[in-house]
Structure 1
Amino acid sequence: MKQEPKAENEEIIVGRNSVMEALKSGRSINKILVAQGDRQGSLREIIGKAKEQGLVVQTVDMARLDALGGPKHQGVAAMVAPVAYVELDDLLQQVACSGKTPFLVLLDELEDPHNVGAILRTADAAGVQGMLLPKRRTCPLSGTVAKTSAGAVEYVPVARIGNVAQTLKYLQQQGYWIIGADMEGDKLYHEADLTGPVVVVVGSEGKGLGRLTKECCDLLVRIPMAGNINSLNASVACSLLLYEIVRQRGLK
């Protein structure tokens, strides 16, 4: 039986009262784990509140919760992020007030925590002002992400978002230019003008960007590949794009 790993620095909260208080307080929760079976009383209330907040609620068997929190879990556990997420509008306001050209990264269906951590580390070095992580099908902040980022998770604000396509359209309305990394992109990455307000969108190694995500991009760029393997590690591809922006903007 596969057990939910507890990543380093990631807190596990168990018990109905404790989880409910975490929900009420606005803690940065990655997901809620609920035991199979009847969901009455306070457990039903927890599930409802979690869904109101757009959190992932995952059904697991009782043994999995036993392994996480011992016998006092009362059928529910919350996996809490090592640092707090920020609200998207707060992040955009912070960027607008910075006096710098907006520079954001959005990860689309990137599930490897080591890649997410590595991208955070490069993002901090390149001067990225914030990262956007979808609530579903993308690795949330965890202890593994924090460790791989070498501390960058403390400095790059991370916002969790709902629907990716809707978020990208909203960002376009705010004046952002959406640049997607894709093997069949319209231009080579160094031929594109990346000097304006940009959101760099990176997908998973296997699937790349989702179809709807591609359709929302203003421009798709590709990285030239001369070898026999037709894709790069996601964090490597993202690093190339971020430092091309650094080069074009003349940042020092």
Structure 2
Amino acid sequence: MARNEEQSRGPVRERALRGRAGRMRGGRGSGRTGAPVRLWGRHAVEAVLVNPDRTIRKLWATRDALAELEGEVPSGLAVDYAQAVDLARLVARDAPHQGIVIECDPLPLLGLDDLEPADPARPIVVLDQVTDPHNVGAILRSAAAFNAAAIVTQDRHSPPESGVVAKAASGALEIVPWLRVVNLSRALEEMEDAGYWRIGLAGEAEASFAEALPAGPVALVLGAEGEGLRHNVAQHCDVLARLPISAAMESLNVSNAAAVALYAIATR
């Protein structure tokens, strides 16, 4: 452990994260180009339509899908009515577009310095080379459900913002800040300085997750499936902990593990 348990349970320091770990710029690493993105699916599109941080360029929809949307389409936004077969040409192959596709500018780039001071009720989720967009989207959905402050990924070895991520996130892409940093280990150092207790999930860890939980703010650190946390990232955690799963199963899918851990943090 980098700090002892008494320190981890002390008063929260009201110190904002400084963002020295850097934020992704331009197209570096994760495919960020600034080009418009196409998102699809009812919940993903509904969330975009009410997000003031989005610049919407175009909306395609079947009449039935548009009629089922909750809320109204912003005034001035033209809708191109289309058949489902036409929409399929606008998205990834076999994507479940549900009759609606939207094209918009990427979300604004965010870094650690954009976060509010550490809050015990709002953990940060740190993903170490989790590259599957379905997993990242599912983790965003759980993060929104359990009021996480943000997810943090390295600019490289993480998926770009995409329709696949947005569909799996079911609207959470517009709710949970997604911070991309250049150096994940340095970002974890900044989280320590800001008062976060950094818990890395590892199946081989001796401590259980419940034993590792402090009363204060938590940064939950998860690695890629199979490979787990990289050595340097694990070294920047205050403690490694395991979830109490049955011996009949070796591990959980990373998105399932995130959901279980976030629930445990919310109900401690």
Instruction: Place the TM-score, normalised by the shorter chain, in its bin.
Output: 0.5 to 0.7
Query: What does 1:1-252 correspond to in 2, within 5 Å?
Result: 30-31=30-31, 82-91=106-115, 94-96=116-118, 101-248=121-268
The alignment partner of 1:31 has SS state of coil
Q: State how many pairs are aligned.
A: 173
What is the CA–CA distance in structure 2 between the aligned matches of 1:128 and 1:102, rounded to whole Å? 5
Structure 2 unaligned residues grouped into runs of 5+: 1-24, 34-103
For the 8 Å contact 1:101–1:197, the answer to whether it is kept is yes
Q: Which runs of 4+ in 1 moved over 3 A?
A: 26-30, 99-102
Q: Do the aligned partners of residues 135 and 27 (structure 1) sit closer, same or farther apart at CA in structure 2, a change above 3 Å counting? A: closer
Q: Do the aligned partners of residues 244 and 108 (structure 1) sit closer, same or farther apart at CA in structure 2, a change above 3 Å counting? A: same
For the 8 Å contact 2:121–2:266, the answer to whether it is kept is no
What is the CA–CA distance in structure 2 between the aligned matches of 1:165 and 1:81, rounded to whole Å? 30
Q: Do the aligned partners of residues 141 and 186 (structure 1) sit closer, same or farther apart at CA in structure 2, a change above 3 Å counting? A: farther
More relative contact order in 1 or in 2 (CA 8 Å, sep 6+)?
Answer: 2
What is the CA–CA distance in structure 2 between the aligned matches of 1:236 and 1:28, rounded to whole Å? 30
Q: Do the aligned partners of residues 84 and 28 (structure 1) sit closer, same or farther apart at CA in structure 2, a change above 3 Å counting? A: farther
After TM superposition, the score normalised by the length of structure 2 is 0.59
What is the CA–CA distance in structure 1 between the aligned matches of 2:159 and 2:112, rounded to whole Å? 18
1:205-242 deviations in Å (ceiling 9; x for gaps):
11011010111100111012324331110000111110
CA RMSD after TM alignment: 2.3
For the 8 Å contact 1:81–1:141, the answer to whether it is kept is no
For the 8 Å contact 2:198–2:239, the answer to whether it is kept is yes
After TM superposition, the score normalised by the length of structure 1 is 0.63
| Identity among equivalent pairs (%) | 38
